[in-house]
A and B are shown apart, each in its own frame.
Chain A
Amino acid sequence: GAGVSQTPSNKVTEKGKYVELRCDPISGHTALYWYRQSLGQGPEFLIYFQGTGAADDSGLPNDRFFAVRPEGSVSTLKIQRTERGDSAVYLCASSLTPGLAVNEQFFGPGTRLTVL
């Protein structure tokens, strides 16, 4: 079946603008994660959804970042008043409900955000 998809693949914006990044998880996966990968770094956890609710948003860097998953499937990461330091690849991953077992997270190809 289809994997995790992310749109757009590339986004160039100007400092101060608002952007939305979209993630379509694998069908049936109730857990959804957002990570941010800056140049030369490993992915950094941002937020985790279990169903529609954000179960862990401890990785969001500040209140300019917000994410939603209104129907428990597609998720949107929203960044307000973008700054040049927000430039990175934003990765989305999904998995089956973690429960007591650790389920594999399947990653999308990412959205490369460039803030000029």
Chain B
Amino acid sequence: AQSVTQLDSQVPVFEEAPVELRCNYSSSVSVYLFWYVQYPNQGLQLLLKYLSGSTLVKGINGFEAEFNKSQTSFHLRKPSVHISDTAEYFCAVSPVGGGATNKLIFGTGTLLAVQP
């Protein structure tokens, strides 16, 4: 079984400051890793994903994440946030070869609150 932990339920940050949203996972098999963003009253949108290869992954809107297998982490970072980045961010995993289901197992989410 897999599980995802997002320890920070809310991260307040000032505009133009850097931010890191933490994600750790547990799995007995290899996993694919994802970050999704949910803006108010909108559906989940994929920010970035790690399937294989380079452990540093770049996504949309200037976000990037680094896969660390030894620490089972996939932290999300952005060097300078904007007010428009205010949203709920979800980390998710999907087991590799999981019967080709590709179902996602999500963390509980982190609310990024960007203040002017």
Contacts and interface: CB of A to CB of B under 8 A. Distances in A.
A107 B106 CA distance: 14
A52 to B, nearest CB: 16
B116 interface: no
A62 interface: no
Given A41-B108, A43-B106, A44-B106, A102 B99 contact: no
Contacts, number: 67
Interface string A99-110: 101111111111
A104 B106 contact: no
Contacts of A43: 44, 90, 104, 106
A56 B101 contact: yes
Nearest to B44: A107
Contacts of A110: 43
Given A42-B4, A42-B109, A43-B44, A103 B102 contact: yes
Interface residues of A, number: 31
A45 interface: yes
Contact of B43 (A3, A31, A42): A3
B94 A48 contact: no
B51 interface: yes
Contact of B102 (A41, A91, A105, A106): A105
A113 B9 CA distance: 24
B43 A102 contact: no
9 residue pairs, one from A and one from B, having the closest CB atoms: A42-B106, A107-B43, A107-B44, A45-B103, A98-B102, A56-B101, A109-B43, A98-B100, A43-B106
Interface of B: 4, 6, 32, 36, 41-46, 49, 51, 90, 92, 94, 99-109
Given A43-B44, A48-B102, A105-B102, 14 more contacts: A33-B104, A40-B108, A41-B109, A42-B92, A42-B106, A42-B109, A43-B106, A55-B101, A56-B99, A102-B49, A102-B102, A104-B49, A109-B42, A110-B43
